[in-house]
Structure 1
Amino acid sequence: MFGDLMGMMGKLQEAQKKVAEAKQRLDTVLIDEQSNDGLLKVTVTANNTVRSVSVSDELLQDKEQLEDYIVMVINNAIAKAAKISEAELAAAAKDGMPDIPGLF
């Protein structure tokens, strides 16, 4: 009984390690997003860190339009990053988890 419990604890620690490694790896996954007309471009990591923003001179003439573009493009990039992050972390956690009936 204790051997099974110790084995499960070891598997859980292994799963935690794999999730931590996946989180670190997600810092290197870059998502590029842009407005439909290409006037604003944003790059974020899969951990939702904005790495770069590129704004066309044309957008600098209209503050309200620029603000709308920033919100739209960053939200789209974050949504894509969240999907990638969720899939990677779920795979890492599932891979290292012990076989507990009904868990996955």
Structure 2
Amino acid sequence: MFGDMMGMMNKLKETQKKVEETKERLNHVLVDEKSNDDKLKVTLTANRTIKSISIDDDLLKDKDMLEDYLILTLNKAIEKATRVNETELAAVAKDGMPNIPGLDMFK
């Protein structure tokens, strides 16, 4: 019984390490998004850190329009980055979970 418990604890520690490594790796996974007319382009990491924003000169003439473009495009980019982040972390967590009978968390 204690051997099984120690094995599960070691597996959980190993999984925690893999999750931290995955979070670090996701700092280097880039997600690009652009407005429908390509006037605004943003790049985020999969951990949702903005890396770059490119704004067409036409948008700089209209503050309200630029704000709308930023909100829409950044929200789309954040959603995309969140999906990548959650998918990657869930895969690591699922792979590292000990086999506990009756506990099927990831079905």
Where on the TM-score scale, by shorter chain, does this alignment land: which range? Answer: over 0.9
Question: Mapping of 1:46-85 within 5 angstroms?
Answer: 46-85=46-85
Matched, 1:15 2:30: no
Q: What is the CA distance between 1:94 and its match in structure 2?
A: 1.0
Which position in structure 1 is the counterpart of 2:44?
A: 44
Q: What is the CA distance between 1:96 and its match in structure 2?
A: 1.3
The C-alpha deviation readout for 1:18-76, integer Å capped at 9, x for no partner, is 11111011011101100000000000000000000000000011000000000110000
So what's the TM-score if we normalise by structure 2? 0.94
Cα distance in structure 2, aligned partners of 1:56 and 1:81? 23
- Structure 1: 4+ residue segments shifted above 2 A: 101-104
Cα distance in structure 2, aligned partners of 1:29 and 1:103? 27
Higher relative contact order (CA 8 A, sep 6+): 1
Query: How many pairs align?
Result: 104
**Quick one: which amino acid aligns to residue 29 of structure 1?**
V
Q: Structure 2 unaligned segments of length 5 or more: list them.
A: none
RMSD: 0.8
Cα distance in structure 1, aligned partners of 2:71 and 2:98? 41
So what's the TM-score if we normalise by structure 1? 0.97
SS in 1 for 2:53: strand
